[in-house]
């Protein structure tokens, strides 16, 4: 596609449920990033994939968060046993030469 796409655009879930967020990067981009942006806050780095290398998971806030990237393309961010503090916009970005192209984000609301 022409840009980074994310689905769903909005997700409302109940506390304790698991959620999966999807990111389709720009074709050919070798790097993929996940960030979290809470209301009025900056971007919090979560995880970074680069090619076939082991992902940099240093930003994941707890073991409830995990992500995978299949075939070097699509990525899924999974949040298990969601908590209210997980409510935020989750942004995905991809890059080839260093600067990132961002998707529109998924707004997650945990009730």
| Cα 91 to Cα 67: distance, rounded to the nearest angstrom | 13
In order of 2, 20, 33, the CA distances from 46 in angstroms are 24, 15, 8
One of 33, 34, 65, 90 touching other proteins (CB under 8 A):
33
First-to-last CA distance in the chain? 33
CB of 6 to other proteins, least distance (A): 10
* CB-neighbour burial class of residue 91 (10 A; exposed 0-12, middle 13-18, buried 19+): buried
- Report the nearest approach of other proteins to the CB of residue 17 (Å): 27
Q: In this complex, which beta carbon is closest to other proteins, that of residue 82 or of residue 95?
A: 95
Beta carbon of residue 75, minimum distance to other proteins (angstroms, whole number) = 15
Cα angle 8, 14, 15 (rounded to 5 degrees) comes to 120
- Contacting other proteins within 44-103 (CB under 8 A): 45, 48, 50-51, 53, 56, 91, 93, 95, 98-103
What's phi and psi for 96, nearest 5 deg?
-120, -40
Query: Shortest distance, CB of residue 87 to other proteins, whole angstroms?
Result: 18
Residues that bind other proteins (CB under 8 A): 31, 33, 35, 41-43, 45, 48, 50-51, 53, 56, 91, 93, 95, 98-105
């Amino acid at each position: 596609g022409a840009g980074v796409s994310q689905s769903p655009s909005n997700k409302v879930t109940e506390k304790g449920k698991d959620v999966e967020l999807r990111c389709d990067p720009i074709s050919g981009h070798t790097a993929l990033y996940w960030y979290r942006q809470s209301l009025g806050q900056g971007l919090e780095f979560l995880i970074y994939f680069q090619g076939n290398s082991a992902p940099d998971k240093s930003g994941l806030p707890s073991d409830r968060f995990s992500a995978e990237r299949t075939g070097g393309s699509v990525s899924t961010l999974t949040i298990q046993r969601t908590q209210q503090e997980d409510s935020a916009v989750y942004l995905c970005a991809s890059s080839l030469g260093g600067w990132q192209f961002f998707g529109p984000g998924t707004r997650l609301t945990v009730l």
